[in-house]
Amino acid sequence: MKFTIQLASALAAVAPLVQLAKAGPVLKRDTNITDPQVLNYALTLEHLEAAFYKEGLSNFSAADFAAAGYPDWIYGRLGQIRDHEATHVQFLTTALQTAGAQAVNACTYNFPVSDIKSFVSLAATLESVGSTAYTGGAAFISNKDYLTAAASILTVEGRHTAWINSAILHGAAWDTAFQTPLGLNAVYTLAAQFITSCPDGNAASLPTLTPYPSLTLEGKPGSTGTLTFSAQNNGSLFVAFASGIGAPAFQPIHNDSKVDIPSDLRGYVFAFVTSSNGTLDDSTTVAGPAILDVGFDASGNVV
């Protein structure tokens, strides 16, 4: 993929920045990542979201939503989200230009959407990933005004996530008490699957981003899940389940591709295959993240 850039700094792209609770150095900001690079990373995601809603809401009309059984007002609300994402694109582009920096342009995308249901489901995923991206990206921002702007966008992305998951999908509006802060490479791995190609000039404005090998995980908390990944499996690998800001939960992979999924996981959980039984970062990540979307009811039970 054109957008892929060489690996320069392990710290730059620490897998998820989830080890705060271990008081490790994982949240230390890489001073080599500049604010314009972080803003361009955010802009890359905003371009993707803006294109997704623009395309989806021109693919499907208000009448299509009504025919598919959605209440009338859903379409208008999704239009408001589309407009927010377009405004975020405009805002970040202007902020970068005002700072004398190049702003990345939109890429071409390929969204796996075949009907309204898959559109709504992907909207929920993209908003959730956007929220984890801003949460994880905050540590890389130096300028306080940019940090305030990023926080301002983050809460709106978080509310988009909540509204789609609860008002449309009738699930939980949140995951746990904490949003998971994913690192740059982890987010980029998730975003890259929807990106077909990007303008040549974009890469020079971005931090070093290297997607990990892909991973899928089928299964539910409290059961044995099945992993699929293409990286070499030497029989001594683990799965790190990242959720919130505590240390991830590690489980050994057994029977070649099986893992016992901890029973207490809820909401969006990010699973990584690792070579380590206790550290999740670029140097230990073998594949992932896979998103485990654990729906739960008002009593906290998995549904």
The residues of the shown chain that bind ligand NAG, judged by CB under 6 A, are 8-9, 11, 32, 52, 55-56, 59, 111, 113, 119, 224, 234, 236, 250, 252, 255, 258, 275, 277-278, 286
Residues for the chain: how many in total? 303
Q: Which is nearer to ligand NAG, 8 or 162 (CB)?
A: 8
With beta carbons less than 8 A apart as the criterion, state whether 96 and 39 touch.
yes
Nearer CB in complex with ligand NAG: 29/159: 29
Q: Which is nearer to ligand NAG, 90 or 224 (CB)?
A: 224
Q: Report in angstroms how near the CB of residue 81 gets to ligand NAG at its nearest.
A: 13
Name the minimum Å distance from CB 253 to ligand NAG.
10
- What is the closest distance, in whole angstroms, from the C-beta atom of residue 100 to ligand NAG in the complex? 20
- Given the complex with ligand NAG, which of 173 and 249 has the nearer CB atom? 249
Q: 119 or 229: whose CB is closer to ligand NAG?
A: 119
- Give Cβ neighbours of residue 225 (< 8 Å, ≥ 6 apart): 217, 218, 219, 258, 259, 260, 261
Q: Give the separation between CA 209 and CA 37, rounded to whole angstroms.
A: 11
Q: In terms of Cα–Cα distance, which of 149, 122, 138 is closest to 56?
A: 122
Give the residue with the Cβ less far from ligand NAG, 154 or 190. 190
Burial of 274 by CB count in 10 Å (0-12 exposed, 13-18 middle, 19+ buried)? Answer: buried
* Residue 125 CA, distance from chain mean position: 8
| Peptide bond preceding 289 in cis form (omega within 30 of 0) | yes
Nearer Cβ to ligand NAG (198/239):
239
End-to-end CA distance of the chain: 37
Q: Are 165 and 171 in contact (CB under 8 A)?
A: yes
Phi-psi group of 219: left, alpha or beta (phi > 0 → left; psi -120 to 50 → alpha; rest → beta):
left
Structure-derived torsion over alpha carbons of residues 206, 16, 192, 130, reported in degrees to the nearest 10: -90
Q: What are phi and psi of 89, to 5 degrees?
A: -60, -50
Q: Supply the minimum distance, in Å, between the C-beta of residue 299 and ligand NAG.
A: 29
Shortest Å distance, C-beta 123 to ligand NAG: 9
Pinpoint the alpha helices (H) of 164-286.
184-192
DSSP label at residue 262: P
Structure tokens at 109: 């995308």
Least CB distance from residue 233 to ligand NAG, whole Å? 8
Instruction: Tell me the residue nearest to ligand NAG as measured from the CB.
Output: 275
Provide, rounded to whole angstroms, the least separation between the CB of residue 149 and ligand NAG: 25
Whose Cβ is closer to ligand NAG: residue 34's or residue 87's?
34
CB of 284 to ligand NAG, least distance (A): 7
